[in-house]
Each structure stands twice: as C-alpha cells, then as structure tokens.
Amino acid sequence: MFIETAVDFMRFYADKCHHGKEEDILFNSLVGKPLTDSLRERAAQLTREHVVGRRSVGELSATRERYLAGDSGAVADAVRVLERIAEFYPDHIKREDAGFFIPLMDYYSKEEQDKMLEEFWEYDRMLIHEKYRLTVEGLLAKQARTQEAAVSG
Ligand SMILES: [Fe+2]
Ligand SMILES: [Fe+2]
C-alpha cells in the first residue's frame, strides 16, 4: 500500500504535475533565450535527472509487482530504491531552485513571468481531469481484457 501510494505520488504529483510544468512550460520557453552555456547545460542536466527519477519510480513500481507475485527479495530492493530516491531529490531540488530557476529569471520580463505563472495555473487546473480520465480509461481497458478472456477462455 505504501509503495502504491508513493508510486502514484511520484508519478502523478512529482513527475506529471511538477516536472510537467518545468519541462512543458519553463524549459520549452528557453528556446530563443540568449542563455549562457552554463545555464543551457544546467537545463539539460535537470532534464536528464528527471529521466533518472522516472526510471527509479519505474523500478520501485516493479518491486511492488514482484512482491505481490511472492518474491520476498523485492522488499530489500524496494528499500534500496527508496533510499536512492530520498537521496537524489533534495540535491535535484537544490540544483534547480538556487542554481537554475533564480538566475534564469534575469532572462524574463515581469510580463513573461506573469504569463508563465498563468500557464502553470492552467496546467494544474487541467490535471485533475486528466488524472481521472486516465483512471476511467484504465478501468475500461481492464474490463475489455476481462471480457476478451471470458470469450476466448
Ligand atoms: Fe525538476
Ligand atoms: Fe522541481
């Protein structure tokens, strides 16, 4: 249950909601900005770190599947992945907040910053609909699989 909740939190809140706004709105807005090489490299590094984060959450989710399938070694692996995630995120956040977002704001006018905030709000507003659309689609797909199995079985 804890792992299931943690995976949902990491996938939906941390990755979809938080990284989503960073990548889909902020990072996309960097195109055409005359950033220093160092800031450009930092943006690329942060994107790579999001990929690593996603991979770790995938690994965590896999340990849950293994545990449910009766693999007792999955618990120790889940702890290892959780420790890795807990170690990784505070540094990632520090690198973003102090090392990237704050210096980056020099490249944005007050109007651009306000517009971006508006886009963030809109992104968040749509997310709840997306989450439950995906939930319903998942349930329908599961139902279709069950019916198919009943017909062919
Ligand atoms: Fe991030
Ligand atoms: Fe972040």
Token pair recorded at residue 125: 């507003």
* pLDDT tens column, 38-77: 999 999 999 999 999 999 999 999 999 999 999 989 999 9
Q: Could you report how far apart the first and last alpha carbons of the chain are, in Å?
A: 31
Give the range of the structural domain holding residue 143, as residue numbers without chain letter: 110-153
Answer yes or no: do 58 and 39 share one domain: yes
Answer yes or no: do 14 and 60 share one domain: yes
CA of 5 to the centre of ligand 1 (A): 20
Answer yes or no: do 68 and 127 share one domain: no
Answer yes or no: do 99 and 138 share one domain: no
* pLDDT tens column, 91-150: 999 999 999 999 999 999 999 999 999 999 999 999 999 999 999 999 999 999 999 998
Cβ neighbours for 84, distance < 8 A, ≥ 6 positions apart: 56
Answer yes or no: do 98 and 80 share one domain: yes
Answer yes or no: do 99 and 39 share one domain: yes
Answer yes or no: do 145 and 92 share one domain: no
CA-to-CA distance for 130 and 127, rounded, in angstroms? Answer: 5
The shares of helix, strand and coil residues in the chain, as percent rounded to the nearest 5, are: 90, 0, 10
- Total domain count for the chain? 2
CA of 89 to the centre of ligand 2 (A): 9
pTM for this entry: 0.81
CA of 65 to the centre of ligand 1 (A): 27
